[in-house]
Copies of this chain bind each other. A is one copy, B any other.
C-alpha cells in the first residue's frame, strides 16, 4: 500500500512515516514508480511506534523496544525496567509541574487583575518579595 493508506492505518502523518524511514525505524519496499510500498507488518511496526511514542518513550527507546519486541529471547525484565524508568520520569515531571503551580497560583490569586499598574506577579519576577496572602480555599 502507498504511504497515504499506511498513514491512515497507523494514525501517523505521512511526513512522520518518511522521517521514521530516514532514521531507519521502518524500511518499506519501493514500487516500480518509486512510491513506497508498505506491507501490513510495516503498518504493524508503525502502530507499535505510534503507541510507544504516545506513552512518551523517546525515539531511541522506541528503537530499543522494537528490537526487544522482535527478539524472541529477550527478558521481560528489560522492558519492565524501561517502563519503570518512564514512570519515574512521569512522576518527576508531575511533581515539577505541581511545584510550578504552587509558585504561580498564589501570585495569580493576589493580583487584582484590573487596569491599575501594580501587579504582584511582576513584583515577584522582579525579585520584590511582597507578602503574598494565602488564598482561601
Contact = CB atoms under 8 A, between A and B. Distances in A.
Copies in the complex: 2
A59 interface: no
Interface string A33-60: 0000000000010011001100110000
A98 interface: yes
A111 interface: yes
A135 interface: no
Interface residues of A, number: 51
A88 B104 CA distance: 11
A105 interface: yes
Nearest to A80: B113
B115 A77 contact: yes
Contact of A126 (B48, B80, B103, B111): B48
Given A86-B104, A87-B105, A104-B86, A79 B111 contact: yes
Contacts of A126: 44, 48, 69
Nearest to A73: B117
Given A51-B125, A55-B103, A117 B72 contact: yes
Interface of A: 44, 47-48, 51-52, 55-56, 65, 68-69, 72-77, 79-81, 83-84, 86-87, 90-91, 93-94, 97-98, 100-101, 103-105, 107-108, 111-119, 121-122, 124-127
